[in-house]
Structure 1
Amino acid sequence: MVENVSRTVLSNGVRVVTESIPTVQSVAVGLWASAGSRDEEPRLRGISHFLEHMFFKGTERRPTAKQIADEMDALGGYLNAFTDKEFTCYYARVLSEHLPVGLDILTDMLTGSLFDPEETAKERKVVLEEIKRRDDDPEDMVHDLFAETIYPDHALGLPVIGSVETVSAFTPEDLRGYVARRYGPKSLVVAAAGNLEHEAVVALAEQMLGSLPAGEPNAPLTRPVATPGHLLYSRPTEQVNFCVGVGGYGQHDDEKYPLAILDSILGGSMGARLFQEIREKRGLAYSVGSYCMNHREGGYFAGYGGTSPENFEECLDLIRIEFEKVRKDGVSEAELQRSKNQFRGALIMAQESMSSRMTRLGKAELYFDKVPPLAEALAKIDAVTVADVHAIAEAILPADASKLTIAAVGPFEEADKEALAEAE
């Protein structure tokens, strides 16, 4: 697998990573900041996400949100952003000849945003509506509640979106101060993939970001400790949406590779154990599966699903049983090989998207200060054995079901909470 990845660090610390794909006619470019909800002090919870909105609301050179949108539309391009617990990314997809303008729009948003008081007040209402939408979507909300439950005393357990109380209090001065502290050059990565020349992207980045003053480095966090427990959140819904999980591994832990295989076998596909047992054999759920969350300092593993209230306890029991089976008996060679093929297929097929390539570059640079070759990840997955997966299952899946963390959203009554507590 041929990769043409290049990396340059500007004199002020901004990192530029690119992958040249001369056979396409477009470029995906992202401006990544190592600033997310993990870095927010209590009164500023949600400000990284709020900034994601405000960077689109007008700059000194492009005073209105419409002007920013119109300029990107005129290129036939696409502009968007997303916020995570550990980073924020502003990105554009453009034809290769429009890369200079696309990157100029992104960097202008970062360096020249006005944070107008009137626009701040309007966008505050938008974000508050977004919080309400999250709260009205139990399938989404339950994952935030699970993170809060498994990490009750850690920044990684807090929701990216913040709270009504904190968002309602943000001021333009708060936004400017946070940008000054967290969006310094050593926090920034310019990542681009497509039909490009690395030296040209470096020259553009130097021109647009080379004079940025230094900001604060991210303070290291302690490794989160997974906390067993359960939270039943009462909402008048037709289904119960739930997560059941345990602590896992971080981006720098080699154990994340056998855990990825375990995740795939338990809930990563239509052929996975949870899907087959809960949906196909019993018809108890439409959506059921599992996932790994790998942060810089740690992570967790969770099964999830949505089911009718009367089937909730049965679904929990079935997940506990599958966890216990794999903890005691491990996995088969056939399951291992199938999961390796799924991992390889997903990783390689993602390379057909310039956006996916750009995202890999940006995340790798932020997590590892380099971009490991794809072949390295494939080799580490390929090296996983049945014994490795069994060892991970034994290490993280508890023999005592009361050590699991459970979060659920549904039409619960106090008796339901008491019954779950007694069952644990």
Structure 2
Amino acid sequence: MPTITSETLANGLPLHRVALPGTRAVTILVAFDAGARSERAEENGMAHFLEHLVFKGGEKYDHYKKVNETAERMGGSLNAYTSHDLVAFHITVRAEAAMEAIDLLTDFVGRPLLNADELDRERGVVIQEIQRYKDQPSAVAEELIDKAAFGDHPLGRTVLGPEEHLRTFSREAIVAFRERRWAGARGGAFVVGNVDHVAEGDPAVAELFQRFPTLDVPGPYEAAPRLQLETLVEKRDSNQSHLRLMYAPDIDATDPAQRAALTIYSTLLGGSMGSRLFDEIREQRGLCYSVYAIDHALSDAAVLQLGAGLESSKCDEAYKRMREIVAELHADGPTEEEVERARAYAAGRRVLAFENTNAVARFAASQAIVFGEDIDPDRAIDALDAVTFADVAAIAKKVDPTAAAVACVGPHEVAEFAAA
């Protein structure tokens, strides 16, 4: 069982210690409610660009080489991520190096130099990242389904943003975004794993995390809209297609029990090799190599996404059958056996994931910052174990099989994807 302690520092930043027995590693993660959905239209791409820029150095480690080489001398794994929900920075090291890792992370993330020359150099790097994604049809399909589902809402925009934005972002605008969105009260610091070298209540620990400035609490981001039922196709002359469908189950995304039930539903639908989609679309019909279903919960909405990568000539049959399977679950419900199997599989996967301190830290950040809920990883596993057959059957009824956004990259026309 993890031992969890939490306190709020003078700058408003919550600090959580999650002690996990049986590990020699520790992850330090700092995150803020400052992802792509918190951007204004003209700022799209700024949250991710800022994530890149802070790695160029802070007051103590004032050059990117010092940041990188210091992490390497600790044997540390240093990285970051930006999603629609969050921006997060994390380092995983052996437990003995915890205080050094906190010193490094809080320096360049908490008080970054944001040097103008480095900003201009990094523009080219991120633009290359955008171009790389454009060369990957599966990545384009991911961006296209968000646009089909959410349109011009921030959730429908890409996290990387358009290339033309990257060329115009000024240092002043980036600093203003950081000061507007990186408030401690809408973030959190997490020390997860072997915390023996990070004493509870140690003023030295608090002092390091208080390198993050005290900022005003930002206003709320724009609420998630209703799902748009748009179909978007990016036509490419290829023999492979990348298909995506998105549904919006009529559930309360703020209810952990309903979110857990949706996870079991998506698992039996397309989250394992024993799932309905994998068994029929791949194994029985041989229509594709890759097919899946996955659920994602935002703070104010939950979505269910289906996807497949397949030979273009088989796309029509796969699309129709995928929609039919969703409709069959809606009409007839799942079987008790497949719910039991999906529940065991989903809970088991979570147990295995939580053997990794970084996975627990990322989970805790989402729980605390996105949902304002308990960060105990054991309770997350218990929540899946507690899902009943009736819970999953109810979710199946809440997925409207006629209401899906559709996206596809390949040699197709929009008319090919009329509702099945």
- Asked whether the two chains share a fold, i.e. TM above 0.5, the reply is yes
Residue type at the aligned position of 1:345: G
- SS for the counterpart of 1:323 is helix
Aligned counterpart, 2:41? 42
Do the aligned partners of residues 22 and 390 (structure 1) sit closer, same or farther apart at CA in structure 2, a change above 3 Å counting? Answer: closer
Aligned counterpart, 1:373? 376
Give distance in 2, aligned partners of 1:113 and 1:373: 31
C-alpha displacement of 1:22: 4.8
Matches within 5 A, 1:16-415: 16-197=15-196, 199-200=199-200, 203-210=203-210, 212-248=213-249, 249=251, 251-253=253-255, 254-398=257-401, 400=402, 403-412=403-412
C-alpha displacement of 1:270: 0.7
Do the aligned partners of residues 79 and 364 (structure 1) sit closer, same or farther apart at CA in structure 2, a change above 3 Å counting? Answer: same
Residue type at the aligned position of 1:92: I
Give distance in 2, aligned partners of 1:268 and 1:386: 17
Do the aligned partners of residues 367 and 45 (structure 1) sit closer, same or farther apart at CA in structure 2, a change above 3 Å counting? Answer: same
- SS for the counterpart of 1:255 is helix
C-alpha displacement of 1:375: 4.5
Do the aligned partners of residues 112 and 257 (structure 1) sit closer, same or farther apart at CA in structure 2, a change above 3 Å counting? Answer: closer
- SS for the counterpart of 2:215 is coil
Do the aligned partners of residues 386 and 25 (structure 1) sit closer, same or farther apart at CA in structure 2, a change above 3 Å counting? Answer: closer
Do the aligned partners of residues 82 and 135 (structure 1) sit closer, same or farther apart at CA in structure 2, a change above 3 Å counting? Answer: same
Q: Is the 8 A contact 2:20 2:193 kept in 1?
A: yes
- SS for the counterpart of 2:318 is helix
TM-score (norm 1): 0.93
Q: Is the 8 A contact 1:17 1:362 kept in 2?
A: no
Which segments of 5 or more consecutive residues in structure 2 lack a partner in the other structure? none
Residue type at the aligned position of 2:337: A
Do the aligned partners of residues 360 and 408 (structure 1) sit closer, same or farther apart at CA in structure 2, a change above 3 Å counting? Answer: same
Q: Give per-residue Cα distances to partners, 1:137-172, cap 9 Å, x unaligned.
A: 111221111111111142222211111121111111
Give distance in 2, aligned partners of 1:117 and 1:383: 52
Q: Is the 8 A contact 1:250 1:295 kept in 2?
A: no
Do the aligned partners of residues 381 and 322 (structure 1) sit closer, same or farther apart at CA in structure 2, a change above 3 Å counting? Answer: same
C-alpha displacement of 1:59: 2.2
Do the aligned partners of residues 116 and 379 (structure 1) sit closer, same or farther apart at CA in structure 2, a change above 3 Å counting? Answer: closer
Residue type at the aligned position of 2:357: M
Give distance in 1, aligned partners of 2:388 and 2:93: 42
Give distance in 2, aligned partners of 1:33 and 1:89: 7
Q: Identify the range of structure 1 (288-297 vs 52-61) with the bigger mean alpha-carbon deviation.
A: 52-61
C-alpha displacement of 1:391: 2.2
Q: Is the 8 A contact 1:152 1:227 kept in 2?
A: yes
Do the aligned partners of residues 385 and 247 (structure 1) sit closer, same or farther apart at CA in structure 2, a change above 3 Å counting? Answer: same
Give distance in 1, aligned partners of 2:227 and 2:355: 36
Give distance in 1, aligned partners of 2:315 and 2:306: 13
Q: Give per-residue Cα distances to partners, 1:79-120, cap 9 Å, x unaligned.
A: 110111111110001121211111111111123322222211
Q: What percentage of aligned pairs have identical amino acids?
A: 27
Do the aligned partners of residues 75 and 262 (structure 1) sit closer, same or farther apart at CA in structure 2, a change above 3 Å counting? Answer: same
Give distance in 1, aligned partners of 2:416 and 2:290: 24
C-alpha displacement of 1:358: 1.6
CA RMSD of aligned residues (A): 1.9
Give distance in 2, aligned partners of 1:55 and 1:252: 32
Give distance in 2, aligned partners of 1:116 and 1:250: 44
Q: Give per-residue Cα distances to partners, 1:315-366, cap 9 Å, x unaligned.
A: 1011011111111111111101101111221122222111112222222211
Do the aligned partners of residues 111 and 385 (structure 1) sit closer, same or farther apart at CA in structure 2, a change above 3 Å counting? Answer: closer
Residue type at the aligned position of 2:207: Q
Q: Is the 8 A contact 2:316 2:416 kept in 1?
A: no
Do the aligned partners of residues 8 and 267 (structure 1) sit closer, same or farther apart at CA in structure 2, a change above 3 Å counting? Answer: same
Give distance in 1, aligned partners of 2:253 and 2:25: 30
Q: Does 1:418 align with 2:418?
A: no
Do the aligned partners of residues 25 and 381 (structure 1) sit closer, same or farther apart at CA in structure 2, a change above 3 Å counting? Answer: closer
Aligned residue pairs, count: 416
Give distance in 1, aligned partners of 2:404 and 2:162: 27
Q: Is the 8 A contact 2:29 2:88 kept in 1?
A: yes
Give distance in 1, aligned partners of 2:285 and 2:371: 43
Q: Is the 8 A contact 1:59 1:113 kept in 2?
A: yes
Q: Is the 8 A contact 2:363 2:375 kept in 1?
A: no
Q: Identify the range of structure 1 (386-395 vs 114-123) with the bigger mean alpha-carbon deviation.
A: 386-395
Which segments of 5 or more consecutive residues in structure 1 lack a partner in the other structure? none
Residue type at the aligned position of 1:240: S
